[in-house]
Structure 1
Amino acid sequence: MCGRFASFTQTQDLADQLAIAEIAEDTRLLPPSWNVAPTDPVRIVVERAARDSTEVTRSMRLARWGLVPSWAKDPSVGARMINARSESLLDKPAFAKPFAARRCLVLADGYYEWRKLTLPDAGSTGSRKVPKQAYWIHPAGPGVAAFAGLYEFWRNPAASETDPDRWLISTTVVTRPASDSMAPIHDRMPLVLPRGAWDAWLDPAVRDASNLLQVDAPRLATLPVGDAVGAVQNDGPGLIEEDPEPRDPEPVLV
């Protein structure tokens, strides 16, 4: 599960890292966020040929987080499709075609996950809610965390041909079973692609990218953080600061 992440690196810095040729104007205007939530606009990288052209260009554009299939009646279904399990991509009609033809990179600086902790003692009183510790998980070295993603186009049937918002671009983050180092926190994690896999994942000429679903992720670091990230209205760099009094008594090894 990947339900929250952060994306605050400057757009031009990301473009330089990924050798991006074109940046959509609305992408440049997207403010940084330390608490990206489902249905928020996010930055993605795609490789496509322009209309009436065969030349493929790498570009950065905005997409709504939560994939909306082209056949959906309305975009609300996207809220349930923020993640796509790597093991079943070909079994899900909403994901199979984008996996073959519309792969992208979802750009992040890192993501959040919550580790379930031990319940209070059976004899204690009060809430029986399972306590959790939030973690900020990010590349151990410099550079972007490039999530493997899929994207789709949805046409609003109620919009006119001249309506600039008649097309919605949406995206989903591909997830995989957690690595040994991340498993103590959660049993799943986003598929973070190493730099050497970016070109093949984006290449529209590669029709079967199944081998990339098994690549080793870049080394990730973990940091316990406070509860504030759990509320979507909270934002700012303070969300990725270390929790001075974490609930989690066990260190997570990376």
Structure 2
Amino acid sequence: MCGRYTLLADELAIKEAFGLHRSLDFYEPSYNIAPGQKVLSIIHDGKERRAGYMKWGLVPSWAKDPKIGYKMINARSETVHEKPSFKRLLSSKRCLIIADSFYEWKKKLDKKQPMRIQLENKDVFAFAGLWDKWQGDEEPLFTCTILTRQANQDMQELHHRMPVILPKAREEEWIEPKSHNSVDWKYWLDYEKQDRLIHYPVSTHVNNAKNNDEKCISAIIEE
């Protein structure tokens, strides 16, 4: 699964990496992005890419209670084309969720060691995401979820699952606003090759979502 990540790149680097022309209003780097927080995402409105913020934890448009979002921070790519909550979104509401690393907890005997995982080149990247709009009594709520898949060779020693990281050449295709058959996307997600990853151990300081400082990413000597 993917339950915590970082975005530390400066605004200019993000805009250049994703072809954005407008400023990223209210953007602040974060060492410890957690479910329930607003996350920087990109969609395509049919004319251009648009960046904005969505709450992490999908609330389907038909949901009666927005609290369901806390149970829907991830969606399994293997079954996303079948689940009522995701099938419609896979065909028409795909987004990029921007990050530059994520955390996973490696099981070691009686404890879990947090690890920071990055692309081998340490560039900013995009998770494959799905989004939806939920209308309550007040303002509409825009939410998203991160797709996950079986771990690749770089991740297998840490966890059996990993987030789907989109290759740079496939980002435009992913957010293209035209509808696509959800089964076709399912096949694409299953077989798309993932970029190489590197990782290193960090302090359990990151375990608390309230901690958001450089100590979250500081390397430690693994015990």
| TM class by smaller structure | over 0.9
Partners of 1:210 and 1:204 lie apart in 2 by 17
1:202 maps to which of 165, 175, 179: 175
2:215 corresponds to which residue?
238
200-209 or 190-199, which deviates more: 200-209
Could you state the TM-score of these two structures normalised by the residue count of structure 1? 0.82
Partners of 1:21 and 1:85 lie apart in 2 by 32
1:162 corresponds to which residue?
none
1:95 corresponds to which residue?
86
Identity of aligned residues (%): 34
Larger radius of gyration: 1
Q: CA RMSD in A?
A: 1.4
CA contact (8 A) 1:113 1:137 kept: yes
Q: Does 1:186 align with 2:159?
A: yes
CA contact (8 A) 1:138 1:145 kept: no
Name the SS of the counterpart of 2:36 in structure 1: coil
**1:115-134 matches, cutoff 5 A:** 115-118=106-109, 130-134=110-114
Q: Where do 4+ consecutive residues of structure 1 move more than 4 Å?
A: none
The Cα shift of 1:90 comes to 1.4
Q: Structure 1 unaligned runs (5+)?
A: 50-55, 119-129, 160-165, 248-254
**1:133-144 matches, cutoff 5 A:** 133-144=113-124
1:173 maps to which of 128, 146, 170: 146
The Cα shift of 1:38 comes to 0.4
2:18 corresponds to which residue?
18
CA contact (8 A) 2:40 2:98 kept: yes
The Cα shift of 1:116 comes to 0.6
Name the SS of the counterpart of 1:137 in structure 2: strand
1:58 maps to which of 46, 49, 63: 49
Q: Structure 2 unaligned runs (5+)?
A: none
The Cα shift of 1:142 comes to 4.0
1:250 corresponds to which residue?
none
2:43 corresponds to which residue?
46
Partners of 2:83 and 2:123 lie apart in 1 by 32
1:145 corresponds to which residue?
125
79-88 or 40-49, which deviates more: 40-49
Count how many residue pairs are aligned between Structure 1 and Structure 2: 219
- The one-letter amino acid of 2:78's match is E
